[in-house]
């Protein structure tokens, strides 16, 4: 396909990035693993890109006591090692290994994946499931939105064209938390269906639960009906099956049987990881 002719801006500072984005028609070039494909569709392609790769300070990944902060140039592969600890780190390590292949993970960024908002992608589903908060910076300053409100449709978010997504903040899970992930990929490059589960067990009962589904609808799905089945219950096979059934009744879910099976698998893995 014929690539579009685009103007390229190499930014050195955050101010230069925001200055370039101010026209509302400039795309951010982070890892380029999705944008480059977009540039081969001349009609919809942006006319200008601003490369953020040489801007200092955008590659920070910081683990605090109760959350992890991820900057715009943190590549997928950073999550393959034990940079992030605890159960959140376990989930991220498992999930990231399913994203593309090593060269894509070496260039692509988590924030790029969130901004791109492919409903089949793993990071948006994880961000929505764990209750991540996303911070945007633009001409009017900073604003933070919950990941569950960030995605508005396929490849569509609340981000204004003048804004840069500058941080994802993911809560750290308490002790007694297990996580699990399951996906069905078959022949596609993105998962056809995926489920992830986070369960915290206190005194033998589920005290906290998060279930995320990827490619279940136009936006990443947080399956709260399934979480409600789990809360306060013992994590038995019967409870897991009931939660999986509830996950598959979420409005957006298309292939109910697949999501039921994958949710059951993710929950069983989460229980095994406790």
Residues near ligand FAD (CB under 6 A): 27-35, 72, 99-100, 104, 108-109, 111-113, 115-116, 121-123, 159, 164-165, 189-190
Nearest-approach distance from CB 238 to ligand FAD, in angstroms = 33
Residue whose CB is less far from ligand FAD, 123 or 230: 123
For residue 184, give both structure tokens: 């069905």
Nearest-approach distance from CB 207 to ligand FAD, in angstroms = 30
Nearest-approach distance from CB 13 to ligand FAD, in angstroms = 15
| Residue sitting closest to ligand FAD (CB) | 108
For residue 79, give both structure tokens: 């999550």
Residue whose CB is less far from ligand FAD, 99 or 201: 99
Residue whose CB is less far from ligand FAD, 157 or 200: 157
CA dihedral 79, 85, 88, 91 (to 10 degrees): 50
Nearest-approach distance from CB 98 to ligand FAD, in angstroms = 6
3-class state of residue 133 by DSSP = strand
Residue whose CB is less far from ligand FAD, 75 or 271: 75
Could you give the residue ranges of the DSSP H alpha helices within the chain?
14-21, 35-38, 86-96, 102-107, 110-116, 122-130, 147-150, 224-230, 237-247, 256-272
Integer Cα distance of 265 and 274 in angstroms: 15
CA 59 to chain centre: 17
């Amino acid at each position: 396909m014929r690539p579009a002719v685009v103007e390229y801006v190499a930014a050195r500072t955050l101010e230069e990035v925001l200055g370039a984005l101010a026209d509302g028609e400039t795309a951010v070039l982070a890892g380029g693993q999705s944008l480059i494909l977009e540039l081969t569709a001349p009609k919809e392609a942006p006319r200008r890109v601003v490369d953020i790769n040489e801007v200092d300070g955008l590659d920070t990944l910081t683990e605090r006591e109760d959350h992890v902060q991820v900057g715009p140039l943190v590549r997928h592969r950073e999550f393959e090692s034990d940079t992030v600890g605890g159960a959140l780190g376990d989930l991220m390590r498992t999930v990231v290994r399913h994203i593309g292949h090593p060269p894509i993970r070496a260039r692509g960024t988590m924030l790029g994946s969130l901004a791109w908002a492919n409903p089949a992608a793993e990071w948006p589903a994880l961000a929505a499931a764990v209750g991540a908060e996303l911070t945007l910076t633009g001409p009017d300053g900073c604003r933070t939105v919950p990941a569950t409100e960030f995605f508005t449709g396929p490849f569509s978010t609340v981000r204004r064209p003048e804004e840069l997504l500058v941080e994802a903040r993911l809560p750290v899970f308490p002790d007694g938390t297990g996580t699990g992930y399951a996906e069905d990929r078959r022949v596609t490059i993105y998962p056809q269906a995926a489920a992830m589960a986070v369960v915290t067990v206190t005194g033998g009962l589920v005290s906290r639960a998060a279930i995320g589904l990827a490619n279940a609808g136009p936006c990443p799905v947080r399956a709260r009906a399934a979480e409600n089945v789990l809360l306060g219950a013992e994590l038995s096979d019967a409870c897991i099956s009931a939660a999986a059934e509830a996950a598959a009744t979420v409005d957006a879910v298309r292939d109910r049987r697949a999501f039921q099976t994958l949710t059951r698998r993710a929950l069983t893995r989460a229980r095994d990881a406790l």
